[in-house]
């Protein structure tokens, strides 16, 4: 059986379909992940109480290249871990452990949004707020099905009446035309209303920041929304035309959400541990930004 890594090396044009990013991006990502891996190992080494000499013990059998490829295959294709282990000639347990380790590495080096990228630097964050104030940002939410919780009280918490299933909700705020992810709020209860979710995160932006969105956000002064059809009446031609214009400006967020959902772990029913959900979705958003050639957190300092 040909391994996925050997396949994308021999057929680089197939990389985007197999792992979600093109081959040149994969090579760059492996280099960055290797640097972060070595830094993480050095930090652990400093804290470790040694019993044997440095360099002793069993050696790791998985390189950064293999580990990153394994992680991307799972995020993009979402095979069960038995199949993932067969693809990379390791056990199911080792495939699971490798995925959990390397997805955290990807999360460390790929910021999920512009706000996350700038948040730790107050000056940079204030500058970002001023720049964003010149744009009308697009906001939308997407729900993802999860496995039904075993406990009845948990089932009630996660049940979405809109989707008629148990879900988690992610809110995306993006630049016009879906050029980049400005903010992502992941892992909220599916029954949380879109407008309440937006209001909980609105403080991240300048007080004068303007947004556009669909009818789920009607009633929020900061958001421009389509006209709602009155009961037993029709919208005027002018209002229909304005709704169409707004829809053509708002479509960018739908395109960006589609890019996120290319990674099947973010679109199919989520079956990993729920406490890992936000980390996985944020890692996928980081990969989408990387695919769009956006910034890489800490690339210079690694």
> Could you state, in order of their start, the residue ranges of all structural domains in the chain?
4-109, 114-291
Cα separation, 57 vs 54, in Å, equals 9
Block means of pLDDT (10 residues each) for the chain, 302 residues, are 89 96 96 94 75 60 92 97 95 96 96 94 94 96 95 93 94 96 96 95 95 95 94 91 95 96 96 95 97 63 29
pLDDT of residue 4: 94
Give the contacts of 34 (CB within 8 A, at least 6 positions apart).
64, 65
Q: DSSP state, 205?
A: S
CATH of domain 114-291: 3.30.420
Q: What pLDDT, on the 0 to 100 scale, is given for residue 42? A: 84
Which residue(s) pair with 270 in the sheet?
Answer: 146
| Confidence (pLDDT) at 300 | 34
pTM: 0.91
Look at the alpha carbons of 119, 121, 126, 131 in this order and tell me if their dihedral is positive or negative.
negative
How do strand 165-174 and strand 181-189 relate by DSSP bridges?
A: antiparallel
Six-digit token string for 77: 């294709």
Radius of gyration, alpha carbons of the chain: 22
Do 184 and 284 touch, CB atoms closer than 8 A? no
């Amino acid at each position: 059986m040909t391994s996925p890594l050997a396949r994308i090396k021999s057929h680089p044009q197939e990389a985007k379909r197999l792992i979600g990013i093109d081959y040149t991006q994969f090579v760059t990502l492996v280099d960055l992940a290797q640097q972060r891996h070595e830094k993480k190992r050095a930090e652990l080494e400093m804290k470790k109480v040694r019993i044997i000499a440095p360099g002793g013990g069993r050696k790791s059998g998985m390189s950064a290249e293999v580990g990153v490829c394994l992680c991307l295959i799972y995020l993009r294709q979402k095979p069960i871990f038995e199949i993932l282990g067969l693809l990379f000639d390791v056990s199911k347990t080792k495939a699971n452990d490798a995925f959990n380790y390397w997805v955290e590495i990807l999360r460390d080096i790929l910021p999920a949004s512009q706000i996350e990228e700038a948040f730790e630097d107050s000056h940079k964050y204030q500058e970002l707020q001023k720049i964003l104030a010149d744009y009308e940002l697009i906001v939308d939410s997407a729900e993802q099905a999860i496995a039904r919780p075993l406990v009845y009280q948990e089932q009630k918490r996660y049940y979405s009446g809109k989707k008629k299933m148990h879900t988690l909700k992610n809110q995306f705020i993006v630049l016009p035309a879906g050029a980049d992810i400005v903010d992502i709020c992941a892992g909220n209860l599916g029954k949380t209303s879109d407008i309440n979710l937006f209001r909980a995160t609105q403080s991240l932006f300048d007080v004068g920041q303007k947004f556009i969105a669909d009818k789920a956000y009607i009633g929020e002064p900061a958001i421009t929304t389509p006209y709602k059809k009155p009961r037993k009446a029709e919208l005027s031609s002018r209002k229909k035309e304005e709704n169409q214009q707004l829809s053509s400006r708002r479509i960018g967020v739908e395109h960006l959400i589609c890019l996120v959902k290319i990674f099947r772990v973010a679109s199919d029913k989520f079956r990993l541990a729920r406490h890992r959900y936000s980390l996985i979705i944020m890692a996928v958003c980081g990969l989408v930004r990387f695919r769009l050639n956006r910034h890489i957190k800490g690339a210079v300092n690694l």
